[in-house]
Chains A and B, each alone.
Chain A
Amino acid sequence: MDLLTVLQVLDSTVRLATPLLLACLAGLFSERAGIFDIGLEGKMLAAAFLSAAVAYTSGSAWVGLGAGIFASLLLSGIHGLASITFRGNQLISGVAINFLAAGMTVVVAQSWFGQGGRTPQLSGAARFEPITLPFAEALREVPVLGPIYYELISGHTALVYIALLFVPLTWWILFRTRFGLRLRAVGENPAAVDTAGISVVWLRYMAVLICGVLCGIAGAYLATALQAGFVKDMSAGRGFIALAALIFAKWRPWQALYSCLLFGFLQAFALRPDVIQTVVGFKVNGQLLDVLPYILTVIILAGFVGKAVPPRAGGEPYVKER
């Protein structure tokens, strides 16, 4: 197996890991603040649709991105309202949002484009094009490092680089700012935050908002970068894989990057049965690789690989104790 094949697989890994990473970071903010979010899937899907639809009509992928973020924020708002203001069951709310997105995207797509629930194919500026980093062409011939730079590092769409930048940014926000400290506190012990005179409600809404923005980017990426348009159910369970990655990463940003890369790698690997055969020596079912993230998550949750302790106050609406 030659370097080029390895690079191709790794290249796929990064492209496939990107939506997972964005959704994972989205979930990170929300859950660290104590709001469980199993609706990442729905928000991604809604964003995928609206970004593709608007990108098509406007001819610009960036405008589409904005629309995608808007769609995701809308659903985030509902989740926030149900979980924070009305103190409802966060898990049920998440389930409802997933269905809402699954249904509405097709209904609206059909109504707008009449193509059986999809948007038309995107092309030109309505899609995010790969960006060639400086000197990539020139360095291409350099042994080993050249192809790595050209194939793997350069040539991704803008959103991939943005997603990767979000990892240190998330880390910095959570661990180097006042806001991050308070956000983490509110997911562990909201009473401590409340008695310090800080608004629990405001913090949680902020977290939900950030989650919405990141899911929006994830969804837009799916439809306008990874693929060329929206099709029904295109999120294909990625929101749940992102949730699995989040648990696998024990709710930490850099670990989220690694676990998303791992799961992205499994997806990329599954697409190349020939490579699998060469590496492992026998035919490994692609499905096994697809299902591995889920099995790994259950193992983590069962506490067999260290403890995966979620934010202590997660999933519980905050009621002032007297």
Chain B
Amino acid sequence: MDAMPKWADVVLIPLISLILAATISALVILAIGESPVEALNLMVKGALGSTYGWGYTLYYTTNFIFTGLAVSVAFHSRMFNIGGEGQAMVGGLGVALICLYVPWPHWSLALVGGILVAAIFGAAWAAIPAFLQAKRGSHIVITTIMFNFIAAALLNYLLIGALKPKGSMEPATGKFPEATHLPSFQDMFSFGETALFRGAPANVSFFVAIVACFAVWALIWKTKLGYEIRAFGHSESAAKYAGISPTKIIMISMMISGGLAGMMAINNVQGEAERLVLNAVEGAGFIGIAVALMGRSHPFGVFLAALLFGFLYQGGAELALWTKIPREMIVVIQALVILFTGALNDMVRAPLERVFLAFKRRKRKAA
């Protein structure tokens, strides 16, 4: 029998974890000498109070949707993909290469090209750790951490060397040609005199991310492959009984995961920066972990959690501007979310199960 109803598992536990994380964060803010309520107000105003704010919030959200989906897909096959950061970097490399060296006639084609290449590059970066896990038993967490560092070094090397335009001092590529520039929200939603989302980086990739949510949902719950991935994630022994190949599942799920992380690059590299810079990913790969955990590895949950973190990011930027609270406060919140939803899961779950059990017993007695 289920210890507690499905809704409690899916909604209540992340909610309680969030409240715990928020409470501790509020205490920290208090300790710094700022008012948590004030801070919250500022964040809401800065992130959601204007189209400019929304433009930033949704831009960050887009990043986190991709990386959150990436970690989620891997979680479904019981693989912990910490390598999203590196996979997103390498995805960015792919995007830069095709934007700089392929003469695209129109942005829509450049977008499709970008999606494909970013996904392929990201998938390739995840493939080696996946292979080593499947065939040699090398722990995927350690290898993907290592690959994050290797990716950073690779990007560094290329951006200081081969990809840097002559005469430039900055470790970055040149600007992408006009034809590859993706329409921003400002371009898409400003009519006549009013310029909405002015200056904000949110762009058409947001909608690609939404489509990705649906695609992942369909893949995991509606296709044969998704069925096999989930089965393997639940029980390797049962999967073998049913003729599902562990190697195949590990490889495919990790490559899809890597591909999704790589696709983030169409947002930050192609959509926003319009060139490849050092540290373009800025920790989004790691936030994907928090997002996937909060969203319970379900695309809808990932979307909501990504929205939450987008809000935290933009709100955090505002806080840093107007108060003594530095941007790093967001990293603290992110850490607490990961801690409570991921590692201290039992701490939240066990008392909750007892509460529900007590309710059930009381109901039964009354009946």
Instruction: Please list the residues of chain A having a beta carbon within 8 angstroms of any beta carbon in chain B.
Output: 38, 78, 81-83, 86-93, 95-100, 102-108, 110-111, 114, 117, 232, 237, 240, 243-244, 247, 285, 287-288, 290-291, 294-295, 297-298, 301-303, 310, 315
- Rounded to whole angstroms, the CA-CA distance of A212 and B271 in the bound complex is 43
Please tell me which one of the listed residues A86, A87, A104, A114 contacts residue B332 in the complex, with CB atoms under 8 A apart.
Answer: A104
Q: Is B139 an interface residue (CB 8 A)?
A: yes
- Rounded to whole angstroms, the CA-CA distance of A86 and B178 in the bound complex is 54
The reply to whether B344 and A107 contact each other, CB–CB distance below 8 Å, is no
Please tell me which one of the listed residues B31, B286, B333, B346 contacts residue A87 in the complex, with CB atoms under 8 A apart.
Answer: B346
The reply to whether A88 and B345 contact each other, CB–CB distance below 8 Å, is yes
Q: A103-B334, A243-B142 are in contact. Are A93 and B343 (CB under 8 A)?
A: yes
Residues of B within 8 A of A114 (CB): 324
Determine how close the nearest CB of chain A comes to the CB of B247; give it in whole angstroms: 15
The reply to whether B139 and A110 contact each other, CB–CB distance below 8 Å, is no
Residues of A within 8 A of B28 (CB): 104, 107
Residues of B within 8 A of A244 (CB): 146
Q: Is B3 an interface residue (CB 8 A)?
A: no
- Rounded to whole angstroms, the CA-CA distance of A95 and B71 in the bound complex is 14
- Rounded to whole angstroms, the CA-CA distance of A8 and B98 in the bound complex is 45
- Rounded to whole angstroms, the CA-CA distance of A93 and B270 in the bound complex is 34
Q: Is B329 an interface residue (CB 8 A)?
A: yes
Determine how close the nearest CB of chain A comes to the CB of B316; give it in whole angstroms: 10
The reply to whether A91 and B80 contact each other, CB–CB distance below 8 Å, is yes
Residues of A within 8 A of B325 (CB): 107
Determine how close the nearest CB of chain B comes to the CB of A243; give it in whole angstroms: 7
Please tell me which one of the listed residues A82, A83, A297 contacts residue B142 in the complex, with CB atoms under 8 A apart.
Answer: A297
In the complex, besides A92-B342, A104-B332, 18 extra interface pairs with C-beta distance below 8 angstroms are A82-B344, A88-B342, A89-B343, A91-B141, A99-B286, A99-B338, A100-B336, A100-B339, A102-B328, A107-B328, A110-B32, A110-B326, A240-B145, A240-B146, A291-B150, A291-B154, A298-B150, A301-B139
Determine how close the nearest CB of chain A comes to the CB of B100; give it in whole angstroms: 22
- Rounded to whole angstroms, the CA-CA distance of A274 and B32 in the bound complex is 47
Chain A residue at minimal CB-CB distance from B154: A291
Chain B residue at minimal CB-CB distance from A244: B146
3 smallest A-B Cβ distances: which pairs?
A103-B331, A99-B335, A103-B332
The reply to whether B156 and A102 contact each other, CB–CB distance below 8 Å, is no
The reply to whether B138 and A294 contact each other, CB–CB distance below 8 Å, is no
The reply to whether A103 and B329 contact each other, CB–CB distance below 8 Å, is yes
- Rounded to whole angstroms, the CA-CA distance of A95 and B147 in the bound complex is 16
The reply to whether A83 and B343 contact each other, CB–CB distance below 8 Å, is yes
> Could you list 9 examples of A-B contacts with CB < 8 Å?
A82-B347, A88-B343, A98-B335, A102-B335, A110-B32, A111-B324, A294-B147, A294-B149, A303-B138
- Rounded to whole angstroms, the CA-CA distance of A296 and B286 in the bound complex is 24
What number of residue pairs across chains A and B have CB atoms under 8 A from each other? 152
Instruction: Please list the residues of chain B having a beta carbon within 8 angstroms of any beta carbon in chain A.
Output: 28, 31-33, 80, 82, 128, 132, 136-139, 141-143, 145-147, 149-150, 153-154, 156-157, 286, 289, 293, 324-326, 328-336, 338-339, 342-347
Chain A residue at minimal CB-CB distance from B346: A86
The reply to whether B149 and A240 contact each other, CB–CB distance below 8 Å, is yes
Residues of B within 8 A of A102 (CB): 328, 331, 335
Q: A111-B31, A111-B32, A285-B157 are in contact. Are A301 and B142 (CB under 8 A)?
A: yes
- Rounded to whole angstroms, the CA-CA distance of A110 and B325 in the bound complex is 8
The reply to whether A96 and B149 contact each other, CB–CB distance below 8 Å, is no
- Rounded to whole angstroms, the CA-CA distance of A111 and B323 in the bound complex is 11
- Rounded to whole angstroms, the CA-CA distance of A82 and B142 in the bound complex is 20
Main secondary structure of the interface of B (DSSP, over half): helix
Q: A86-B344, A96-B338, A100-B339 are in contact. Are A287 and B156 (CB under 8 A)?
A: yes
Chain A residue at minimal CB-CB distance from B287: A99
Residues of A within 8 A of B347 (CB): 82, 86, 88
Residues of A within 8 A of B147 (CB): 294, 298
Residues of A within 8 A of B345 (CB): 86, 88-89
- Rounded to whole angstroms, the CA-CA distance of A285 and B160 in the bound complex is 11
Determine how close the nearest CB of chain A comes to the CB of B35; give it in whole angstroms: 14
Chain A residue at minimal CB-CB distance from B131: A302
Chain B residue at minimal CB-CB distance from A101: B335
Residues of A within 8 A of B132 (CB): 298, 301-302
The reply to whether A297 and B346 contact each other, CB–CB distance below 8 Å, is no
Residues of A within 8 A of B329 (CB): 103, 107
The reply to whether A107 and B326 contact each other, CB–CB distance below 8 Å, is yes
Please tell me which one of the listed residues A82, A95, A295 contacts residue B82 in the complex, with CB atoms under 8 A apart.
Answer: A95
The reply to whether A88 and B346 contact each other, CB–CB distance below 8 Å, is yes
Determine how close the nearest CB of chain A comes to the CB of B336; give it in whole angstroms: 7
- Rounded to whole angstroms, the CA-CA distance of A240 and B333 in the bound complex is 23
The reply to whether A96 and B339 contact each other, CB–CB distance below 8 Å, is yes
The reply to whether A237 and B326 contact each other, CB–CB distance below 8 Å, is no
Residues of B within 8 A of A97 (CB): 335, 339
Best-surrounded residue of B136, B137, B153 (most CB of chain A within 10 A): B153
The reply to whether A106 and B328 contact each other, CB–CB distance below 8 Å, is yes
Determine how close the nearest CB of chain B comes to the CB of A132; give it in whole angstroms: 37
Chain A residue at minimal CB-CB distance from B325: A107
The reply to whether A82 and B343 contact each other, CB–CB distance below 8 Å, is yes
The reply to whether B346 and A291 contact each other, CB–CB distance below 8 Å, is no
Residues of A within 8 A of B324 (CB): 110-111, 114
Q: A107-B32, A297-B146, A298-B147 are in contact. Are A99 and B334 (CB under 8 A)?
A: yes
The reply to whether A287 and B339 contact each other, CB–CB distance below 8 Å, is no
- Rounded to whole angstroms, the CA-CA distance of A205 and B147 in the bound complex is 31
Chain B residue at minimal CB-CB distance from A90: B343
Determine how close the nearest CB of chain B comes to the CB of A287; give it in whole angstroms: 5
- Rounded to whole angstroms, the CA-CA distance of A310 and B334 in the bound complex is 30
Determine how close the nearest CB of chain A comes to the CB of B331; give it in whole angstroms: 3
Please tell me which one of the listed residues B32, B138, B330, B334 contacts residue A302 in the complex, with CB atoms under 8 A apart.
Answer: B138
- Rounded to whole angstroms, the CA-CA distance of A221 and B51 in the bound complex is 48
Residues of A within 8 A of B344 (CB): 81-82, 86, 88, 93
